[in-house]
Amino acid sequence: LPPPPPFAPSQVVYDHPDMFEGEDQLLRVFDRDATGAWRLSEEALRRADEMGCGFKTERGDRSAVLMTPEEGRFSQMMLNVTRSLGDFYHGQYGVTWRPEVVTRDLAEELGPGGRAVLCVASDGVWDLWTFEEAMADLLDGSELPAAQPARRKLVMDFMENSRNKGYDAFGDSADNLTGIVVYIET
């Protein structure tokens, strides 16, 4: 088969109410530095502050979308960055389901008697907490014996606190919560 036709590049922009009011209203998240390397655009951040663009998370992350070009195949489509895994249409522009995998030897990283907590959760959880806040609650469970029902209760309480915090912030439109917490001991 011949290679597919080239596509115009997609772009990542900050999501805000006036983003469709003209080209100058598109706040591109990334730009290139003097060497041609990609970087976070300081100008777009400054303009986002001026325009009153809000924050999506407790950590101060702004909402961003991946936009396809204005013309051409699958044109004028937007995809929220957190929903980008495996999207059919945006796959034409390089969005992939293939994860970037990093392998670490935890016994080596933690040392003898080391403890760690792995929390894999959806944005419905992470949008509500700073990493320090979440880990402060969950790390308390690493001191408990592995078979302790108290460890399970601590995790369930964290998820319930997340649900309540989401409801307080967003009411009935609060995001769903999905997560798994693994306590690791060497």
Which pLDDT score, from 0 to 100, does residue 162 have?
Answer: 94
Which pLDDT score, from 0 to 100, does residue 8 have?
Answer: 60
Which pLDDT score, from 0 to 100, does residue 183 have?
Answer: 87
CA distance 18 to 36: 29
Which pLDDT score, from 0 to 100, does residue 82 have?
Answer: 58
- Is-contact 68 89, C-beta < 8 A? yes
Which pLDDT score, from 0 to 100, does residue 83 have?
Answer: 56
Specify the residue for token string 């907590």.
117
Q: Render the burial of 129-159: b for 16+ CB within 10 Å, e for the rest.
A: beeeebeebbeebbeeeeeeeebeebbeebe
CA distance 139 to 135: 5
What does pLDDT average to in each consecutive run of 10 residues of the chain (186 residues)?
58 85 88 92 92 83 82 72 62 73 91 88 88 86 75 91 92 88 87
Which pLDDT score, from 0 to 100, does residue 5 have?
Answer: 55
* pTM assigned to the model: 0.66
Strand segments, DSSP code E, in 24-127 are 30-32, 38-40, 64-67, 78-80, 115-121
